[in-house]
Structure 1
Amino acid sequence: MRLPPRPSYRPREPIGPLVDIVFLLLIFFLLAGTLEPVAPLEVAPPQAARPGEPFDGPIRVQLAADGRLGLDGQVLSDAALAAAIDARLAAAETQPAIQIEADGGAPSGVVLDLLGRLRAVGAERLALVAIAERPHADD
Structure 2
Amino acid sequence: MHFNASDQNPSLEAYGVPFSCCIQLKNETVFNSMCGYETQKMKNSVVSRLIYTTGCLDEIVWWGKQNLLLICMMSLSSVQLCQIRSVQQKKRKRNPLLQQKVLTGFIRSPFTVCRHWNSMHCTWNTKL
TM-score, normalization by structure 2: 0.26
Structure holding more helix per residue:
2
- Where relative contact order (Cα < 8 A, 6+ residues apart) is larger, the structure is 1
Greater C-alpha radius of gyration: 2
Considering fraction of residues, name the structure with more strand. 1
